[in-house]
Structure 1
Amino acid sequence: MSFQPSYFKGTEGAVGLICWFERTESVFLRSNCTEDSKVKFATGTLTEDALSWWNSFAQPIGIEEAYKTTWSELKNLLTKKYCPRTDVKKMEDEFYSLTVKGNDYKTYVRRFQELTVLCPTMVPNAEKLMEVFIGGLPRSIEGNVTASKP
């Protein structure tokens, strides 16, 4: 089984960052990575702009102190750096206006899933999530989906 890390440059945008989070967490699980090692491992996969950002974060406090940052804290720091509020606002607006284009359900579902990860505060619970999802479906099938009580 491969535990190959995924690299993050800092130029991939919000979706790229979320994908990096997910792939990195997948490696954590498969390799039984301890909490104490997650930040050290994850920051070892940063390159280019993201590595420069990490170095500028770690240098003033020292690398050992920087490695005491939790994985959750690191994710928050990276999100603040690489998902500017203006971008998040655009995604939130897109989230509530997302609809199926033509019969391209696959693209709708994929983008809906991305936006639920990128905008976690937009849907406080599963019921609201389902309501927003159904709201983006064509009216011709919305009733069928609602009747099936997903």
Structure 2
Amino acid sequence: MSASDSTIQPAALGWPGRAWRPYALALPALILLIAVIGYPLLTIVLRSLSEPEWGVQNYAWFFGAPVNLTVLRRTFTISAWVTLVCVVSAYPYAYLMTAVGPRVRLMLVLCVLIPFWVSGVVRTLSWVILLQDSGVINSLLRAAGFSGVKLIRTQTGVVIG
């Protein structure tokens, strides 16, 4: 074996002593995820299994009550509809953002970001004004010749809002 072979060999092996270094960069984020998400989730699961007695009787009670199943079904239905509406509307919106100039793109980005900056109370009151029986949407429907639609306090109103 020549001297040149021995100098090339450690590089070819990829310096196995340093292979962990790229993964070390992710370690702080992993620790934060475990602390913020993993620990509380584990605590909730253990508490649900242990109080008042150790076992799955809490889950049997929850899934045995018809009202809980109705609420759970309604929750997942609304979640599925909202997800579908968001996906169907977000892809064309994102495509539009790539097809327009920088000024219009900035306006489109602001239309997405401004609702995050507005207080939840103001946002809720705005939706009530839009969706109520004498609101903007029903007024436009009546002006177009349609009958008004009940949107407030309905599943459709929740999906829209």
Q: Same fold (TM over 0.5)?
A: no
The TM-score, its normalising length taken from structure 1, stands at 0.22
- Larger RCO (CA under 8 A, 6+ residues apart): 1
The TM-score, its normalising length taken from structure 2, stands at 0.21
Structure with higher Rg: it is 2
